[in-house]
Structure 1
Amino acid sequence: MSVDGWNTVLVLGGIRSGKSEFAESLVADAPTVRYVATAADASADDAEWAARLAAHRARRPETWSTEETAADPRRLADVIAAAAPNETLLVDDLGGWVTVLLDPAHQPADDTATIAELAAAVRSCAARLVLVSPEVGLSLVPTTPLGRAFTDALGAANRAVADACDAVVLVVAGQPAWLKPTPARAASVPAQAGPAPAGPAVNGAAVAAEPAALPEVLTPTPPPPAAPPAEPATAWAAPTMALPMVATGLVIQPGMELPMPDEYAGPQAIERLATLDVPGAGLGALERVVGFAAATQGTPTPAPWGSVRVLLLHGDHAGGASAGTVTGESARRARQARAGEGALARLAAECGASLQVVAAPAAAPMEDEPALSGEQVEAALREGWRLAEQAADAGVRLLVLAACGAGTEAAAAAVLAATAGAEPPAVLGRVLTDAGEIDDAAWMKRCAAVRDALHRTRRSPRGAKDVLAELGGGDIAIATGVLLGATARRVPVMLDGPVGLAAGMVSRDLAGQARHWCLLADHGGDPAARLAADVLGLTPLLDVRLDLGEGANALAALPLLRSVLALAATLPTRPSLTAGASGRQEPEPGEDEEEDEREFVEPEPAGPGPTTTEPDGQPVDPSGRRAG
């Protein structure tokens, strides 16, 4: 769940501090969340408390399920202990749990033992877990026995749970302060792998040494310590180059003004290449990668990309778009990547790149209905922006977009048809079976799905968000957010395949600057990638026609591109460029300076014509012929 390795987190905060909204933003990336409500229902005469509970319920997405534990406070520990590793739990909050625990209906009870059971359940929890609790220890000691009992019990619960959690954050006036740094606990984090010299650990188990260590596999991550505002409805009036990355306050809209690469550094880097001491004619077509790196780094001598992160977007498309794909194949690929296995993970390991698998919302059949709702599109765009923000904060210098969903090719073809006027059959690649045979029937089903989707939306707007909602789906929407967020943070993105390039097409209406931060290593022979690259003005650096899956082709080319940048940064200038105009070396500081004051002598002319302009002393015939 965290790029730093935590699996459980306690969110503390005062009344109306924004702690619940912050906790909800931590699990916003999860496909499903089990919301554990601990407070008892409001009484009939407490309308204000009923309104608070209703507001909490209204904020929960439809994909979340709710579980009540108010009837039995001991049941909370059982729910947490029984949660599966693939689940995400949000407990809100421990204040309500302590209130029920102290209720006379549950007395006599061993409060200390119950709190200890809860802490033990949190410590052993295999699921991703976020707990919310009020911090009341900063106020005066209550004047009533019941108030003192509540604060004492809640303080004991907070201390015990904080000790059991991997991370603790205190939210004050909407601003989070991380109290407990994240320890490295690979054994407790599902699908977490970290490279180590003696062999990395994957899911807590040692892995034998291989030619290259497993890539650093990152689990879905919470937002960095930049808190949401106190009120979710707060929106920014206009976009800027430093938009805050919060769960609810970011406004992504057409016409955003984002930064451009340095317009001078790129040409200067290309000119500098002509002066390098290379034995041959130079870097050829790969000069472009030097110019791109120079422009995006803002220096004529760019450095090879050190920290690289691969974002693998996993989101399936239902209906005819996925015709010909094996059921569950994309999920298997995503599991492989999380375990540090498969082509993408192995190539990431060879490049020393970290790998993060991102679950995108599944898209509905676009031929029958919109692929996503408007709210889902907004959430996916913000999620992509947040992923780019997290990468930039972690020091990542290059992002690689990858995808492994079913039906992505058809969704990209539909986006190209809507944004570039392409004909779906011309941009839909052939469908291959597991045996490597061409499946024409599946290809025709995909073409028909795209055709029907375009017919259904023929009168719909063609704005960026409209295209994502009607045709694009969750993976393309998140990829679009990644491009925008990376542009805002000046992080270049390497595209490789239809999803990333379709996102580039959509991003033009939101921020035209985004395409200038994109690099295309190879189109892989994909017709959609070829057309989108042509429209975006992205010339592939290579043409080796690899077909290893979206993202893998870019990683295969990355070592070569790094080598080119290393040469451009370290090779010296040719010795001949340091010599004088006559070809000899520059004089030493002590040489006679009179050489610079020598009398100028006109050189003898070369080629046909007289060798002098002086008369030769012979008579000249008036006819123009020489006499004699």
Structure 2
Amino acid sequence: MSVDGWNTVLVLGGIRSGKSEFAESLVSDAPVVRYVATAPEGDPDDTEWAARLAAHRQRRPGSWTTEETAGDPRRLADVVASAAPNETLLVDDLGGWVTVLLDPAHQPADDTATIDELAAAVRGCAARLVVVSPEVGLSLVPTTPLGRAFTDALGAANRAVADACDAVVLVVAGQPAWLKRAAATVPVARGAAGPEVSAVAPPAVNGAALEPTPELVSLPDVRTPAPPAPPAESATSWAAPTMALPMVATGLVIQPGMELPMPDEYAGPQAVERLATLDVPGAGLGVLEQVVNFAAATQGTPTPAAWSSVRVLLLNGDHGGGAAAGTVPGDSARRAGQARAGRGALARLAAESGATLQVVDAPTAGPIEAEPALTGEQVESALRYGWRLAEEAAEAGVQLLVLAACGAGTEAAAAAVLAATAGAEPPAVLGRVVTDSGEIDDAAWMRRCAAVRDALHRTRRSPRGAKEVLAELGGGDIAIATGVLLGATARRVPVMLDGPVGLAAGLISRDLAGQARHWCLLADHGGDPASKLAADVLGLTPVLDLRLDLGEGANALVALPMLRSVLALAAALPTHPSLTGGTDRDDEGADEVGTDEPDFAEPEPAGPGPTSTEPEEQRADPSGSRAG
């Protein structure tokens, strides 16, 4: 936003000053906006006014809803006062509202009292609110009583609403000038759809609330890898943290049926069509065309650029009970510690790829065979936490997120989610358990299967909604991953999945916002049965099939350089000369480069007959005399 800390803002401006467009830009990051239209329809014969209204409607995204208040000017105060904290309102504009207020059809009325009611509603508004109003106080005093009444009432309304708003901006010739800025007390990080009001209640472990800790109150550090160390060194150094924002409640209500953005439906096919015109010596990019298609759709251009800013989110959250059978206690914490210190496969690959790394600690989930993994409050907190992680990445300019996980029991939790949402049988989607020594532990695999089976039996009569599945079976890491997918979708940031946690989150996100899966790219399913089935349910085709098993997230980083190379190649190669009308021949007498006339040769007859194209009367007789 252009000014920090505001909850309500008044946007002033003259006619055609760009005030409405600027106001719309202030709420462009909100997934859903309630547009409050105050102007009446006007005279049906006034085509110019109708065209203005149509232009305003056409500019609004499809996810916005429209509410009309022209029928009753007093209703605007009620709409503002009753707005919920998770809502975003855009009122456009007070000029139309004053016009209706002064309409004889609504008289007699106490204009001053109605304006005061609106100002009081704005001052107490819990939602995010942007009010647009024309600034007419700089013009000449109207010569008619009705004109003077309008300017006086609008001036009084602007003054009262400006006093009630946190911030006021004047737009002159498309340039915003802030007249009143929000009080700069404690910096507040805002969510995509509502004001920040209080600290998020931290997640709990096995039903017991945790005390607030720095890891839960604020976002984890983002670490930027240094260039790879020489072979003689055994560790990679890391730079200081680049960002740490306070984690506070966004007021966002994450619920089923959210309307989030979709990728550009035209840019992807156009990019694939363009690939067929490139000057390549072979047949093209093969299956990697889908990478260009995906990047073009998510970037909204037929010539997508390679992702230069990539962030890896490593979710570290264990699952208790039989889900973690066969794992070494404390191993996931050791892996997370390695990543923080710049060691291990994931950190090394992130350093090679120039990606930043953020280690996210999730609460330990309870044993799902005996009790819910999380409480409902913990699920809500984890979803908002993941949303904020994605939002912070978007604000930092990240172009691609990579989801990774290192918790104990994640495979069994993902299998439970898959069984609950897609009807899979636990033994069919649970991979074999391999010990540190490389041996297959069938006893541990059976304990995991039994834990998932018992959890499904325990919840057989429970609802199968997204949040209920997360609470009963999913756990903290899958809940945070779901929030990341939703937040990234809201901010149009693509996400690369690699492993059961990310794919389980993709399955959960379908019931909350079906658009999220269209922003996901699957690097490699790695042969994991749960990942293969989840990818099939989500309609995601793996880009590669390398059968790597370096840990969730590491496989994606192995593929990342190749995907970047493909995108860079597709963007840089020129069009084939044959499609531009030119040639590259340098032979004597050959066509010059850029010639528009194509080469043409008269075809020879296929059988006996005249071989000359000369007219009949000019054709020579072999006997020396003319025919006829």
Do the aligned partners of residues 513 and 365 (structure 1) sit closer, same or farther apart at CA in structure 2, a change above 3 Å counting? Answer: same
Which among 493, 497, 503 is matched to residue 495 of structure 2?
493
Code of the residue aligned with 2:430 in structure 1: it is: L
The 3-state SS of whatever aligns with 2:448 is helix
| 2:553 aligned with 1:551 | yes
Q: Could you say which residue in structure 2 is the equivalent of 1:451? A: 453
Give the drift of 1:30: 8.1
For 1:355, the equivalent position in structure 2 comes to: 357
8 Å CA contact retained: 2:228, 2:351: no
User: Alpha carbons of 1:221 and 1:447: their partners in 2 closer, same or farther (altered >3 Å)?
Assistant: farther
Which residue identity does 2:579 align to in structure 1?
L
CA contact 1:198–1:209 (8 Å) conserved in 2: no
1:321 alignment counterpart: 323
Structure 1 counterpart of 2:37 = none
1:460: which partner in 2?
Answer: 462
Q: Report deviation, 1:410.
A: 0.3
- Contact 1:257-1:511 within 8 A present in 2 as well: yes
Could you tell me which of 566, 569, 581 is aligned with 2:568?
A: 566
Question: How far off its partner does 1:277 sit?
Answer: 1.2
2:13 match: none
Aligned twin of 1:420: 422
Does residue 241 of structure 2 align to residue 222 of structure 1?
Answer: no
Q: 1:74-125 deviations in whole A, cap 9, x for unaligned?
A: xxxxxxxxxxxxx64xxxxxxxxxxxxxxxxxxxxxxxxxxxxxxxxxxxxx
The aligned residue for residue 531 of structure 1 is 533
Amino acid at match of 1:392: A
CA distance, structure 1, for counterparts of residue 368 and residue 243 of structure 2: 27
Q: What amino acid is aligned across from residue 295 of structure 1 in structure 2?
A: A
- 1:463, CA displacement in angstroms? 0.5
Partner of 1:95: none
Q: How far, CA to CA, are the matches of 1:248 and 1:435 in structure 2?
A: 46
Moved more, 603-612 or 277-286: 603-612
Could you tell me which amino acid in structure 2 is paired with residue 378 of structure 1?
A: E
The 5 A counterparts of 1:39-438 are 62-64=209-211, 88=214, 194-195=224-225, 214=237, 221-223=244-246, 247-438=249-440
Deviation string for 1:288-318 (max 9, x for gaps)?
1001000000001100001000000011100
Counterpart CA distance in 2 for 1:587 and 1:329 is 65
Partner SS, residue 357 of structure 1 = strand
Alignment correspondent of 1:471 = 473
* Structure 2 residue runs without a partner (length 5+): 1-183, 188-194, 612-628
The separation in 1 between residues aligned to 2:202 and 2:217, in whole angstroms, is: 13
297 and 213 in structure 1: CA distance in 2 versus 1, 3 angstrom threshold: farther
The separation in 2 between residues aligned to 1:451 and 1:473, in whole angstroms, is 16
C-alpha RMSD over aligned residues = 3.7
Distance 1:350 1:415 in 2: 34
Q: Distance in 2 between matches of 1:378 and 1:500?
A: 18
Per-residue deviation, 1:564: 0.4
The TM-score with structure 1 as length reference comes to 0.60
> Is the contact between residue 310 and residue 353 of structure 1 (CA under 8 Å) also seen in structure 2?
yes
* TM-score, L = length of structure 2: 0.60
- Cα offset, 1:576, TM superposition: 1.8
Q: Is the 8 A contact 1:321 1:449 kept in 2?
A: yes
CA shift, 1:579, in A, is 2.4
**Deviation digits for residues 115-169 of structure 1, max 9, x if unmatched?**
xxxxxxxxxxxx9999xxxxxxxxxxxxxxxxxxxxxxxxxxxxxxxxxxxxxxx
Which secondary structure does the structure 2 equivalent of 1:316 belong to? Answer: coil
Matched residue count? 417
Q: CA offset at residue 62 of structure 1?
A: 2.9
Paired with 2:601 and 2:292, the residues of 1 have a C-alpha distance of 44
8 Å CA contact 2:221–2:244 kept in 1: the answer is no
Query: Residues 303 and 566 of structure 1 are in contact (CA less than 8 Å); yes or no, is this contact kept in structure 2?
Result: yes
- Answer yes or no: is the 8 Å Cα contact 2:204–2:378 preserved in 1: no
Instruction: Check conservation: 1:315, 1:405, Cα contact below 8 A.
Output: yes
- What letter is aligned with 2:410? T
Instruction: Give aligned-pair identity as a percent.
Output: 75
Distance (Å, rounded) in 2 between the aligned partners of 1:23 and 1:602: 79
Residue pair 2:419, 2:425 contacting (<8 A) in 1 also: yes
CA contact (8 A) 1:318 1:365 kept: yes
Counterpart amino acid of residue 443 in structure 1:
W
Take 2:217 and 2:268, find their aligned partners in 1: how far apart are those partners?
Answer: 47
CA displacement 1:323-368 (0-9 Å, x = unmatched): 0000000111111111111000000000000000101111101111
